[in-house]
């Protein structure tokens, strides 16, 4: 019986500086990737030329499709049994494919394996976070887990499973949260999830914070994703979905985006009228007495009055 094959799929935009580092770590893998596909998303720099110089397969979009659209093009072009998507400005640790094949050759292999990862500061190279997903909890209920936790973009996937769900969602309303939508969709479809206990990828952090506009867009997109999830499984997971909507409302309130915060709270309360688990007990009591919308405003303005450092943008 032949061993399963693995493709590395890389969406790339303005990646001429960082792409060689990723490709160098990809070339060091043993066993090697069976194919490497780079989808250059109408990048105005030399990303396509740099990619071609490495002798890998290069797809070039005539117009910008975004990260999800580029991943989908690479997915469709791949011929391997399994695929791994990797951002062009991150890198692989030496034993990535060895760990991947450990899972891929299993007799009853899952369709999704979330790999361990680390976050490092690009300037100092200092380790910031090591990310390992709880394998037992993930395998027990992938839907609940992927609603409650943002699964990282460091997985290996059976290609036929991704084709069954249509790949990544290109709906503009879920932009910035497409990985969340992607994993939840796989879980709802009934595919089996597992998690590796080995760190095999590095995510480089190039700044201390995202812009406020990007953070707000992420939160609004998370609201949109949870609405879609509720339409599919809301009756089974109302509390979990409501908790994520309250979290989105909390973030939006911190940016004084009250229309978005109120909308998220309305969506949550239609699904689950009670205060979701996990809220501060005193705040939960205030929510019950004066209502969540007013409680969110009281809390936010109290933070700004008495703990303004919590609302100062990162340097």
**49 part of a folded domain:** yes
Verify that 162 and 222 share a domain, yes or no. no
Q: CATH no. for residue 190?
A: 3.90.550.10
- For residue 116, the cross-strand partners are 199
Write the pLDDT tens digit of every residue in 175-231.
Answer: 989 999 999 999 999 999 999 999 999 999 987 555 677 899 999 999 999 999 999
Q: Give residue 29's pLDDT.
A: 98
**40 part of a folded domain:** yes
**Residue 115 to residues 63, 187, 193, 247: CA-CA distances in angstroms?**
32, 16, 11, 26
pLDDT surpasses 80 at 133: yes
Verify that 169 and 201 share a domain, yes or no. yes
CB 284 within 8 A of CB 275: yes
Verify that 201 and 243 share a domain, yes or no. no
Query: Where does a domain end: 163, 190, 205?
Result: 205
Write the pLDDT tens digit of every residue in 90-115.
Answer: 999 999 999 999 999 999 999 999 99
Q: Give residue 32's pLDDT.
A: 98
Verify that 180 and 228 share a domain, yes or no. no
**1 part of a folded domain:** no
Verify that 145 and 111 share a domain, yes or no. yes
Domain membership of residue 273 as a residue range: 212-311
Write the pLDDT tens digit of every residue in 144-155.
Answer: 999 999 998 899
Nearest alpha-carbon partner for 266 in 289, 237, 296 = 296
Report the run of H or E that residue 262 belongs to, with start and end. helix 258-271
Q: Which two tokens stand for residue 36?
A: 């490497």
pLDDT category of residue 314 using cuts at 50, 70 and 90: low
Cα 237 to Cα 239: distance, rounded to the nearest angstrom? 6
Count other C-beta atoms under 10 Å from residue 37's C-beta: 24
Q: Give residue 315's pLDDT.
A: 43
- E strand map for 5-111: 6-12, 35-40, 57-60, 82-85, 91-92
Nearest alpha-carbon partner for 300 in 266, 261, 264, 243 = 261
Number of domains in the chain: 2
CB 184 within 8 A of CB 101: no
Q: Give residue 147's pLDDT.
A: 98
Write the pLDDT tens digit of every residue in 31-80.
Answer: 999 999 999 999 999 999 999 999 999 999 999 999 999 999 999 999 99
Verify that 223 and 199 share a domain, yes or no. no
Verify that 201 and 217 share a domain, yes or no. no
């Amino acid at each position: 019986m032949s061993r399963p094959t693995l493709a590395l799929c890389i969406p790339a935009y303005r990646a001429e500086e960082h792409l060689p580092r990723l490709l160098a770590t990809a070339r060091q893998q043993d066993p090697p990737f069976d194919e490497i596909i780079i989808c250059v998303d109408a990048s105005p720099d030399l990303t396509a030329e740099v990619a071609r110089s490495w002798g890998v397969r290069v797809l070039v979009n005539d117009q910008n499709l975004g990260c999800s659209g580029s991943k989908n093009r690479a997915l469709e072009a791949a011929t391997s049994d399994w695929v791994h998507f990797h951002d062009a400005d991150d890198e692989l640790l030496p034993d990535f494919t060895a760990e991947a094949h450990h899972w891929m050759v299993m007799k009853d292999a899952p369709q999704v394996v979330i790999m361990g990862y680390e976050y490092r500061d690009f300037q100092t190279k200092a380790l910031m976070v090591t990310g390992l997903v709880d394998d037992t909890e993930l395998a027990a209920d992938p839907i609940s887990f992927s609603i409650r936790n943002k699964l990282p973009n460091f997985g290996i996937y059976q290609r036929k499973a991704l084709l069954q769900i249509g790949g990544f969602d290109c709906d503009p309303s879920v932009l910035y949260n497409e990985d969340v939508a992607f994993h939840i969709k796989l879980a709802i479809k009934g595919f089996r999830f597992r998690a590796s206990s080995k760190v095999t990828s590095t995510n480089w952090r190039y700044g201390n914070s995202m812009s406020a506009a990007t953070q707000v867009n992420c939160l609004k997109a998370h609201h949109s994703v949870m609405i879609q999830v509720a339409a599919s499984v809301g009756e089974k997971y109302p509390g979990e979905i409501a908790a994520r909507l309250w979290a989105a409302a909390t973030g939006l309130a911190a940016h004084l985006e009250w229309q978005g915060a109120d909308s998220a709270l309305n969506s949550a309360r239609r699904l689950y009228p009670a205060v979701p688990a996990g809220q501060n007990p005193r705040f939960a009591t205030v929510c019950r007495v004066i209502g969540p919308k007013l409680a969110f405003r009281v809390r936010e303005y109290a933070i700004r009055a008495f703990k303004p450092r919590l609302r100062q943008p990162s340097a």
